[in-house]
Each structure stands twice: as structure tokens, then as C-alpha cells.
Structure 1
Amino acid sequence: MKYGFIARHRSVWPTRTMCRVLAVSHSGFYEWMNRAPSQRSQDDARLTRLIRESFELSDRTYGSPRVWHDLRALGESCGMNRVIRLMHLAKLQARHKRRRLPGDTGSRLENHIAPNHLQRDFEASGPNQKWVADFTYIWTAEGWLYAAAVMDLYSRRIVGWSMSDTMQAKMVSDALLMALWRRGKPSSLMHHSDQGSQYTSDDFQQLLTAQGITCSMSRRGECWDNAAMESFFSSMKTERLSRKVYRTREEARSDVFDYIERFYNPVRKHSKLDFLSPVDFEQGLMG
């Protein structure tokens, strides 16, 4: 430790003076300086490179706990205190700044804004009566990925979804088309969303009309009007997305697909369904 202090401050005070004050041999110090780096020092240098990579990929927002989890995911077995020490030495300090979400710059066609027919009634007596829809943003090292989803309120099952690099109307249309392909053409269906430019676009409104679907929209600024979808996206982010650093959009796409199709729909127990998964709840109905 004394030799390390002297090495770090040689540009500030004379080496021999520091050796005398700290009661160490200056010849011993020079011998220590010429030694090859220890295995511990080499490991610290390698870990610091990995720590810096994790820190930069998080947009400089990760503190030591999340960096430590990143290292563990890479198979490293270092302790939390070591990560704290190396981050301090490398002057890597997380900035607690909320990343600005992309805004919806598309034009909203006022003549396509529908009344709120749903009226926060999130219960349905059978499948394919009420579908709710929305989309969310997922940060990756390559930029934003947008994920749209359609939920059947009867079973809380995600019946359609789509992902895109851009915030376009085609994304929400593709999610609805997947839902229609999976569920057939429902006879009396309400589709509820917010008033975003994607849902008020000509293309999307024409799709609803062609399928005989009643359009319902939340009131402007009232997120609780679509609380079921808000809850789904919140769960997906808490249980999966916030735990990871996505280096590519494709990596994020794969994880969203896995969360919906492998976990949420067939496995995840839902409190609104007497702790059955959406798939099990629907199969109980069919049985």
C-alpha cells in the first residue's frame, strides 16, 4: 500500500522524501516498480475493462450492483466490494438521469379519435369481446426498439404483438393482424387504445372498419383508461427487460418474444385469473 501511494504521487512529491516519511527503502520501492504485474493486478485490469464496457452500454447509468450482475452473467465470480473498488479507481460513477423517451411526432387525425367505449371496464365474459392495445419503448445499445401488443381482456392473454425500429402505424397494424390471424374474425369485438398517431392513422382505422371492429380510445392524458396494458408492460419491464443490457435490437426482440410466448402467456400466474396463466385459463374454458 505504501509503495502504491508513492507511485501515484511521484509527480507531486520527491520519491526519496516520501520513502523517508513512510519509513520504506527507496531501493525497495524501485525494485517493486520493476516487478511484473501480479496475477491479482492482471485480473483487476481485465475486470476493469469488463466493468467499463457494462457501464458504457448502460449509457453510464449503472451503479456497482447492476455492473456486478452483468459480470456474473458473463461468468465472472468477483465480489461486490471488488466491483465497487475498481469502479472507484476507474472513476466510473453512475449518473442518475432519466433517459428521454422518444416523442410521438406523428399527426393525430382528429376525425379518427373515438369515444371511450371501454370506460375502464376491464372485465369480459368471454374471449374476443374486448381487446386492448398499446406499445412501449425498449432501450438497446443500437437505439430504441418499439414493441406493440394486443391483449384479450377475458384471459389477459397477449394475442398479437409486433416490434419495429421506428414508431410507425404499421407496427400496431401488424400486432392487430397477428391477433386476428390467431383468433379468427370475432363477430362483436371492441378494440381499445390511446389516441396516438399510430392508432388514429388512416391505415389502422381502415383495418378496424374492414374487420367490423368497434374502436374505443382513452381520454387524452388518462393512462388509467388503459390500465390493463400499462400493467402488462410494467410487469414485462420489471420481470425481464430492466434486468438486462441489450447490445442489439435483435437481442431485445428475442427476449420480448421469449417473455410473451414462453413465459407470460403459458406460464405466468395471473392474480386476476385465480393464479392461472392466460393459456391455462382459456383451456379451462374450452375444457
Structure 2
Amino acid sequence: MMIRFIDQYKNHFGVEPICRALSAFLEDGFITSRGYRAAKKRIPAARTLKDQLLIPELVKIHEENYGVYGVRKMWHAARRAGWDIGRDQTYRLMRAAGIQGIHRGRKPITTRQAKEADTRPDLVNRNFTATAPNRLWVADFTYVRTYSGFCYTAFITDVFSRKIVGWGVSSTMHTLGMPVMALKQALFQAKKDGSDLTQIVHHSDRGAQYIAGDYTRELTELGVQLSVGSTGDSYDNALAESVNGAYKAELVGLSD
């Protein structure tokens, strides 16, 4: 701390006068001009040198991602960029650089419960893990405000890779709009990858869009296993809710 202070003011006051002034006010812990020069000649520790190299890179990565990434995503982004950095180190350097992820606000519920009965089981039971790609998909949609009205976006996310494998955008919540668009995109990619569709569990809430015949018919014909959570309970489809939140916080910049 004192080294930085002397570096900041030495050209104006000089090293010796600053050291004398500090020693007059501090009974211990002050530094002499000789000690200052010795400290400046000392070779920085390897950790210090690495920190000095990494901080500008983290700031660059943060800016390139709209200034919204938190510790976990910054850590993964830095690793993808080729930097050997740990999660705790990422947290420490982000604090040193004064950067942080965006904070999300609360979101309203968009799920509308279907009038018809739904007998599909909950095959997930809040265990959002998978052993391979195209084993468990979670589906949900959200909305954002625009100057011309509401815009609705549906996502299908692969639990294993956390990759959005299907998405659709529409000005309405109708089943034939964005939910089916997202589904067809996900199925097309899965077929292209040569995946066994009968091994896929498709999990959603009990909203009207996801139990409608227009949506479930193709899934049933292809042998995809259908799973649902309860209506209005975000924990039963927590991963999909997390994707919606990240989309709105990081890309749209809206919290409601």
C-alpha cells in the first residue's frame, strides 16, 4: 500500500520527504527511502506477475460478453480462451478488477394450466442431471417487453451440455408458434447427430402449450419419453427457469 502511495506522489514531493512524513505519523510499519528502493528492485512473485497478466484479460472477456458474466461463466470463458485459472482465482481477480455479473430480478409466471387432464409422470423429480447429450431435455418459455408489445421466446435445453438445442420466437403464446418452432429445431439436430430419440426424456411444466396435442403428437410418434412437473412450481423445472433468467438478464437486460 505504501509503495503504491509513494509511486503516486514521488514525482511531486520526492521519495525522501514522503518517507520522513510517513515516519512522523506512523510509529511502526513505515518505510524508509532505502527500503522503498529495495522493494522496487525486488522481483515480483510469480502469483503477482500472473495476476497482472490475467486481470486485463478478464476485463476484456467481461466486456466482450456485455459485462454480464458472473464468476462461473467468467471462469469457463477464461478456460476456453486458453488461460489456466481456477474458479477461486477468477473470483479474487474479478473483485480486484471491480467487475461482477449482472443481478437478476424476479420474473412473472407465464405458465397457463391446461384445462384437460394430463397423466404424464414426472420422470425427473428435480434431478437435473444426464449421462450424455440428448438424454434429458427441459422446455420452457418466457417473455420480454418491447416497444411494440410482448415478445415470447421458447427454449429447449440439453441438460448434459447445458446447450440450447432448440429455440423459437413469437408475438403470441400459441402452441403452434414458438414452442413448436423450438421443438422442431431440437428434433432436427438430434436426428442429424444420429441420436436415439427413444432415449430422450422431454421435461416441461403442465402449461397448456406443452400438453397440447399439436406439441406432443410428434414426440409420442418418435418415441420420446414425456415428463412433466407441477404447474407454477419453478423447482420442478429449475434448469429451464435458470435459462430463461440468464436470457433476460444477460441478453435482453430486462428483469420483468
TM-score range relative to shorter protein: 0.5 to 0.7
Matched, 1:183 2:194: no
Write the deviation string for residues 224-270 of structure 1: whole angstroms up to 9, x where unpaired: 111111111111211121269xxxxxxxxxxxxxxxxxxxxxxxxxx
* 1:173 match: 180
* 1:160 match: 166
Q: CA deviation at 1:220?
A: 2.5
How much is the aligned-residue C-alpha RMSD, in angstroms?
2.5
- After superposition, the Cα gap between the structure-2 partners of 1:103 and 1:128, relative to the gap in structure 1 and judged at 3 Å, is closer
Paired positions, count: 146
Matched, 1:230 2:237: no
Contact 1:113 1:195 in 2 (8 A): no
- After superposition, the Cα gap between the structure-2 partners of 1:222 and 1:158, relative to the gap in structure 1 and judged at 3 Å, is same
* 1:31 match: none
- For 2:144 and 2:204, the matched residues in 1 are separated by 19
Displacement over 6 Å in runs of 4+: none
- After superposition, the Cα gap between the structure-2 partners of 1:113 and 1:231, relative to the gap in structure 1 and judged at 3 Å, is same
Contact 2:204 2:228 in 1 (8 A): yes
Matched, 1:130 2:160: no
Q: CA deviation at 1:108?
A: 3.3
* 2:35 match: none
In the alignment, residue 232 of structure 1 is paired with which amino acid? V
- For 1:165 and 1:234, the matched residues in 2 are separated by 19
Instruction: Return 5+ residue gaps in structure 1 as ranges.
Output: 1-97, 245-287
Q: CA deviation at 1:116?
A: 1.0
- After superposition, the Cα gap between the structure-2 partners of 1:174 and 1:243, relative to the gap in structure 1 and judged at 3 Å, is closer
TM-score (norm 2): 0.52
* 1:270 match: none
Q: CA deviation at 1:101?
A: 5.7
* 1:120 match: 126
Alignment of 1:1-287 (within 5 A): 107-110=114-117, 112-170=118-176, 171-184=178-191, 186-242=197-253
Q: CA deviation at 1:105?
A: 5.9
Contact 1:173 1:207 in 2 (8 A): no
- For 1:182 and 1:103, the matched residues in 2 are separated by 27
**Secondary structure, counterpart of 2:138 in structure 1:** strand
- After superposition, the Cα gap between the structure-2 partners of 1:121 and 1:101, relative to the gap in structure 1 and judged at 3 Å, is closer
Contact 1:108 1:195 in 2 (8 A): no
Contact 1:113 1:217 in 2 (8 A): no
TM-score (norm 1): 0.47
Instruction: Return 5+ residue gaps in structure 2 as ranges.
Output: 1-104
**Secondary structure, counterpart of 2:202 in structure 1:** strand
